[in-house]
Structure 1
Amino acid sequence: MTKKWIYALEEVGQEHLNLVGRKCANLGEMTKLGMRVPPGFAISVDGFENYMRVTGLGRRIETYFASLGEDLKKSVQKQMDASRAAKDMIAETPLPAGIAEQIVSNYEALCARCGEADLPVAVRSSGSVSMPGQMETYLHVRGSSEVMRRVLEVWESTFNTRAIAFRLEKGMAVDKAPIGVAVIRMVSAKSAGVLLTVVPTTGDTDHVVIEGNWGLGESVVSGDITPDNFMVDKVSLAIEKNINKKSRYVVSTVNGTVKADVPSHLQEIPCLEDAEIHELVRIALSVEKHFGVPQDMEWVVDQDLPFPENVIWVQARPAKFTAQRKDADADYIVDQMARLFRR
């Protein structure tokens, strides 16, 4: 295993999509554009394939799925059983020493870079094929042993039932799914959410839409609350605000992330200041110009940093949206954002 298979985010970009997966490639590209991105590293597809090869799991899982034949396509129950069996095989197979040492070494280097022992990180799946919402993400992971455990669980999630069904539907090999893993510093989130440089339900490209809540962005897409909505004119930068009562949010604790009640004094005030909104829009429009297509982006405002360094990005990708219609309803639908958020 002399071949390099872990990379700093600064080392990768869009040209490395098949090497490190879409999310890691996007994060690397964002750093090249000068965007504020949390520091971290990318575990490439080769890392997963090394694990499967060195442990013999790849051959075992391939043989197992081959034994199921065409029956796997006909029954959801069989897909659920296959998912459980494949995931059990991975759960029972620890990381080989050489692979574990490389992950720990890169995590410790990230801790040193950020000046914090047992730095809390997000461990996020990064598939080279877009499979929305089908792989796992773990937040506020601390310590080498926990990072290794979560990396293994992200790899394990390639055999989630939904992922198996997706590969069957698309005619892909069901016994394997190239996957990278992003390990990035957790942001001390004051607020977070999503931004699109197009109104997805109408195709209106004259406005930027921002959805947000206090705390981490998971509450914005979970449907637990109705987030704040900001519509910003791309030319005048005029802001139209729809501030909703935000009773619940997701926050980081020493034991991970939890859902909690929003303090009463914050529930009915905007989760973003006007200056933060304009900074989000400024950067988003520059990214849209760079790529030449509307963008679907994820942002976090760090409560421990001064403005504008506190405006941080954790995702940017081409937006999916409805073609513009003159008679379309201009309301922004949060449910659609939930489908767009996870890739």
Structure 2
Amino acid sequence: MIKRGVRRDMMEENQVIRWVKDVRKTDLELFGKKCANLGELYGGGFPVPFGFVIGLAAYERFLKETGARDELSTYFSTFKADPNSPQDISKFEEAERFARGLVESKKMPAELEELVMKYYSDLCRSLNKEEVWVSVRSSGPISRPGQYETYLFVRGEAEVLKHIVKVWSSTFNTRSLVARARAGLPLDYDPVGVAVIEMVDAKSAGVAFSFEPGSFSLLTMAIEGCWGLGEGVVSGRVSVDRWFVDRRTLTPVRRQIPRKTEEFVIEDPEKGGATFKLVPPERQKIPCLTEQEVKALAELTLKVEKHFGQPQDVEWAIRKDLEPPESLVLLQARPQKISKGKFGLM
């Protein structure tokens, strides 16, 4: 257990850390898109996991108070590499090793450390667990899919603190540095928020879209899912069920249910961690969602679309520890990228 008791009267707590339930989409610049959208979902009455969020101000304070900001500025002031040259990728990789090593060697300022520990302790208490498994995810003020890193199955105060810093350091990974260099943005500074969210042990999980991707139809939405955690879908390794649902009647007009031989599942609820395992034969050829779950998810996705006022791309999961309809939770929502041609604008 890490000691508490440090005064934090100088902290602007409301801009540094909040519960998910206390964040809204208007807080995007303070906490980043993922955190703001998750809080907005909660505020709209949608089912989301418990958790707390850490603002961009914490990233800024961490770099400044530890001296990392000045050291990074000095290093990148002489850094020269062409982001469009394959020969220069090694220079960006070397910069990543330096910057991430520097950031991760720094200790979180005491006032911020105390706040994070308090919120994690309160989260554990609210869920009636001594230590809760959480995911620690980045939340940038603008969408940069795949650039930063996510850490699953983090438990305990020290590990939560460690992985928050690792998310901050991931803003200096090679992908992020190359992208910023191509965009003409500073390499030494890229503040992000962090979401610390209860891990959901999912029976099945996936993504729902307001409109069927790759189609010019305005009448159908799409749902994709797999057995186990949603990271299985993201990895591209597991087979995915698909439903194409009539937006007016919420009934599937067609579906694709392949044989699913693998699932990404929690290995041990006590030890944490997840792994790819063989799906038992009796589940390999059946859908990962029931007809009732498909309809409930389609209805919920359209409600999210209405709440945000635009088509949405929604990450969902079916919890193992709850019964329907409470078992359906939303993990994230973001605007769905729609071809202009879909609406006859091209």
Alignment TM-score, normalising by the size of structure 2:
0.90
Query: Any idea what SS the aligned residue of 2:78 has?
Result: helix
- CA–CA distance in structure 2, aligned partners of residues 298 and 18 of structure 1: 22
- CA–CA distance in structure 2, aligned partners of residues 203 and 295 of structure 1: 16
Task: State the Cα distance separating 1:323 from its structure 2 match.
Answer: 3.8
Contact 2:83 2:182 in 1 (8 A): no
Deviations 1:115-140, CA, capped at 9 Å, x for gaps: 11111111111111211101111112
Contact 1:155 1:179 in 2 (8 A): yes
- Select which of 57, 62, 74 maps to 1:51: 62
Query: Any idea what SS the aligned residue of 2:136 has?
Result: strand
- CA–CA distance in structure 1, aligned partners of residues 52 and 70 of structure 2: 28
Task: State the Cα distance separating 1:244 from its structure 2 match.
Answer: 1.0
Query: Any idea what SS the aligned residue of 1:27 has?
Result: helix
Match of 1:173 in 2: 186
**Structure 1 residues 60 and 315 mapped into 2: Cα distance closer, same or farther (>3 Å)?**
same
Contact 1:203 1:323 in 2 (8 A): no
- Which consecutive residues of structure 1, in runs of 5 or more, have no partner in the other structure? 327-343
Contact 1:10 1:28 in 2 (8 A): yes
Paired letter, 1:48: Y
- CA–CA distance in structure 2, aligned partners of residues 272 and 61 of structure 1: 48
Task: State the Cα distance separating 1:61 from its structure 2 match.
Answer: 0.5
1:242 aligns with 2:250: no
Give structure 1 regions of 4+ aligned residues with deviation exceeding 4 angstroms: 69-74
1:287 aligns with 2:297: no
Paired letter, 2:25: Q
- Select which of 161, 178, 202 maps to 1:189: 202
Contact 2:152 2:199 in 1 (8 A): yes
Task: State the Cα distance separating 1:200 from its structure 2 match.
Answer: 1.6
1:121 aligns with 2:134: yes
Query: Any idea what SS the aligned residue of 1:195 has?
Result: strand
**Structure 1 residues 15 and 325 mapped into 2: Cα distance closer, same or farther (>3 Å)?**
closer
- CA–CA distance in structure 1, aligned partners of residues 186 and 292 of structure 2: 48
- CA–CA distance in structure 2, aligned partners of residues 217 and 286 of structure 1: 21
Match of 2:169 in 1: 156
Match of 1:3 in 2: 12
Query: Any idea what SS the aligned residue of 2:217 has?
Result: coil
Contact 1:131 1:166 in 2 (8 A): no
Query: Any idea what SS the aligned residue of 2:264 has?
Result: strand
Match of 1:339 in 2: none
1:18 aligns with 2:35: no
Contact 1:199 1:321 in 2 (8 A): no
- Select which of 87, 109, 115 maps to 1:96: 109
Paired letter, 1:280: L
Task: State the Cα distance separating 1:64 from its structure 2 match.
Answer: 0.6
Paired letter, 2:291: D
Match of 2:5 in 1: none
Paired letter, 1:123: V
Match of 2:339 in 1: 322
Task: State the Cα distance separating 1:69 from its structure 2 match.
Answer: 4.2
Match of 1:312 in 2: 329
Query: Any idea what SS the aligned residue of 1:250 has?
Result: strand
1:138 aligns with 2:151: yes
Deviations 1:309-330, CA, capped at 9 Å, x for gaps: 111001111101334469xxxx
248-257 vs 12-21, which deviates more? 248-257
Contact 2:239 2:262 in 1 (8 A): no
Query: Any idea what SS the aligned residue of 2:324 has?
Result: coil
Contact 1:158 1:177 in 2 (8 A): yes
- CA–CA distance in structure 1, aligned partners of residues 272 and 122 of structure 2: 23
Report % sequence identity. Answer: 40
- CA–CA distance in structure 1, aligned partners of residues 99 and 52 of structure 2: 27
Paired letter, 2:227: W
99-108 vs 63-72, which deviates more? 63-72
Query: Any idea what SS the aligned residue of 1:68 has?
Result: coil
Query: Any idea what SS the aligned residue of 2:177 has?
Result: helix
- CA–CA distance in structure 1, aligned partners of residues 244 and 319 of structure 2: 22
Match of 1:251 in 2: 265
Match of 1:111 in 2: 124
**Structure 1 residues 8 and 203 mapped into 2: Cα distance closer, same or farther (>3 Å)?**
farther
- Which consecutive residues of structure 2, in runs of 5 or more, have no partner in the other structure? 1-9
Query: Any idea what SS the aligned residue of 1:2 has?
Result: coil
Match of 1:270 in 2: 287
Task: State the Cα distance separating 1:92 from its structure 2 match.
Answer: 1.6
- CA–CA distance in structure 1, aligned partners of residues 294 and 312 of structure 2: 16
- CA–CA distance in structure 2, aligned partners of residues 87 and 255 of structure 1: 25
**Structure 1 residues 160 and 63 mapped into 2: Cα distance closer, same or farther (>3 Å)?**
same
- CA–CA distance in structure 2, aligned partners of residues 89 and 71 of structure 1: 23
- CA–CA distance in structure 2, aligned partners of residues 205 and 283 of structure 1: 18
Match of 2:4 in 1: none
Task: State the Cα distance separating 1:170 from its structure 2 match.
Answer: 1.3
- CA–CA distance in structure 2, aligned partners of residues 259 and 266 of structure 1: 15
Match of 2:7 in 1: none
Paired letter, 1:243: I
**Structure 1 residues 70 and 220 mapped into 2: Cα distance closer, same or farther (>3 Å)?**
closer
- CA–CA distance in structure 2, aligned partners of residues 309 and 212 of structure 1: 18
